[in-house]
Structure formats: structure tokens, C-alpha cells
Homo-oligomer: A and B are copies of this chain.
């Protein structure tokens, strides 16, 4: 089997999500947005898909992929990774991810198996936590500690057993005391049985991060995420030494799973972190195996098809599926009109079922995509 084509399918859709000056998402007025699907086609008619990809990557990607057996994922991944050094943003980790995921999707279809069973299945469902958007000043939104408490209560009533706050970023924050007030309001509202996590402003000082971490310990929080700039591993080593509450990371630090090895060896966090956006499912599984070898937990960042299949193949060292980002005024369930069905519906117990359809279990609404194709 040979790859004969790598194509980007771009289409428009109507979105009600806007990004602020720092790139954080919030509900907003409906507007046109575009999305991209990477499609890899073979001479035997089997195709693989993934969301994402960029025109800037196409020349290099085609140079490596066309004529290659798509089942040589490891060879393709290593070659593209080596290309990254010179290509920079035109072959970013997210672009590499789109290629790798499309190849996993294709392999699953060749095998007639869902990807998590290709990897070796571990579980059929995974508990999800409700992961909020960042704080805002929208009435009825996430504009006060009380609003977070209201939203947490609604999520728990929907079935979630865990809830993660993203609090206020610039220019509405940062504000350590307000972050703690929001965390306290949520804990008071949902009671002691719900796992709570905080992902706050990512640029606090060590002193501010320690202040927040101590408060989270008092409130019985489950983990504490990225309160400082991850480029300073030393800051995280310092913070993890001080705190009992598990510090989670790194999430955005570059350097793929190699960097996670450094964080583990240097005890810069208590729980490691990775997701398919960092180069694909191939490096995510490597990072999971790295963490397991060191007896370190790893929480998968973000949701979606690739992460969910990884969670289906790992019991150790991962716990939760991150579902979101959610907001009281945002219809998350309807946010991907290019899919005939979401992959991550939650049941009444707050679990997401690992999909059983072949490959990454995409359920594209091709009629919608073709109608809106650019």
C-alpha cells in the first residue's frame, strides 16, 4: 500500500466562540470560521483523516509521504520530526500531529479496528472532568466566584464527577485572591466528593503560585496546573518541592516527550502531561510509557478523538478525559457542525465511552463539509 495524496480540506462553519487577546476562548457573537481536515489517500482506496494541517507543511509532508507505505508510521514520524528543526512553524508539532493522527486513522481502517485496540485496549470508558473556559466579565458567564459555583453545580447535576476551573487571564486578571475565591466557592457548592482542579494564569510568580497552591491544599483540590511560565523548569522544581498538592505539567513546554523526561527526572511536576497536539498519537504513547516506567502519573491534556483512543489504551498512568472547554452560555455539544456525532458524549455517571468504530472513529458530516468547502 502506498500513499498517493496528502490533501487539505478547508471549509467554513458558523462559530459562537471568539478568542481574546491572549488566545483564550470565550462565547461571542456568531461568525464565520474555518476548519481544516488533513486527508491522506492510498492507492488501495483507504484514507485517513485528522483535524488540522497547514498549506505551509504540504511540500515537505508530500516529499516524505507520497509513495511511502502508510503503515510505516514510526519512520514517517521520525523523518518529519527531523525536518522540524529547519522548518520551524511551517511544520509545527500541531501539523506533525495532523499527519500522525491521519496515519493512525488509516491504520485502524486497514485493520478494521478502533485505534485503541490497535494499541492494546485497557478500558471501555473513562471518567471526564468538565473543563471551563477562562474567566470573563460576561453577565451570566464566568464573571465571579459565584458564577463558577453555579456552573460547577450545573455540571455535577449533569453527571460530571470532576470539574476544572480556568480562571481570569489578562486583562481581567491575574488575581491570586480572586482565583482562590472562585476555587473556594466551587468547593463549598459541590461538596467534598467532587474532584476539583485549577488551571490559572500561566505567568504567576513563584510566591503567588505558592499562595494559590497552599489554598488549594486547604480546599482539598485534586491537582494544580501551570501557574507559572513553563520555560522555567526551575520554578516548577521549586514549587513541587513546597507543595503536597500534585503539580501537573508541562503542557505547553516545547520539546515533545523528551522534555517530559527532563521534568520527570528533575521532579518538576508530580503528574506529567501530554496530548496528541504535541506531535501526534505516536509521541503521546511514548510519553505515557515514559511516565509509567517512572511510576509517574500522566494526565492527557485536552479532548478529541486521538486523546480518547490513547485513554482507552492506558489505565496506568492516566485518570481523566478533559471535556471542554465549557461555559454556561456556550453550546459545546453543537460546536462541531462538521461531525454527524460528537465522539465524547458523557453518560449520567460522567463517563465518556471509548469509540469502537475503526480508526479514530471519525463521524464526519460530509454533506455539511462539501456544502461549505472553500
Contact = CB atoms under 8 A, between A and B. Distances in A.
Given A261-B293, A289-B289, A290-B290, A315 B75 contact: yes
Contacts of A287: 289, 293
Contact of A293 (B111, B118, B286): B286
B74 A119 contact: yes
A257 interface: yes
A78 B294 contact: no
A366 interface: no
Nearest to A124: B72
Contacts of A118: 107, 111, 118
A112 interface: yes
Contact of A290 (B78, B120, B289, B314): B289
- For the complex of A and B, the 8 pairs showing the least CB-CB separation, nearest first, are A73-B120, A111-B111, A286-B289, A72-B121, A289-B289, A261-B293, A71-B117, A74-B122
As for how many copies of this chain the complex holds, the number is 2
A258 B316 CA distance: 13
A258 B260 CA distance: 17
A114 B90 CA distance: 34
A355 to B, nearest CB: 14
A50 to B, nearest CB: 15
A121 B293 contact: no
B315 A121 contact: no
Given A71-B120, A72-B120, A78-B315, 15 more contacts: A71-B113, A71-B117, A74-B120, A74-B314, A75-B122, A103-B120, A110-B112, A110-B113, A111-B112, A118-B118, A257-B289, A286-B289, A286-B292, A287-B289, A287-B293
Nearest to A292: B286
A295 interface: yes
A224 interface: no
Given A74-B120, A75-B122, A120-B77, A258 B295 contact: yes
Interface in A267-282: 282
Contact of A120 (B260, B261, B282, B314): B282
Contacts of A316: 78
B285 A289 contact: yes
A310 B252 CA distance: 31
Interface string A123-136: 10000000000000
A69 interface: yes
16 contacts: A69-B117, A71-B120, A72-B121, A74-B119, A74-B120, A74-B315, A75-B123, A78-B316, A107-B120, A111-B112, A257-B289, A257-B293, A258-B294, A258-B295, A265-B294, A289-B290
Contacts of A326: none
A142 interface: no
A185 interface: no
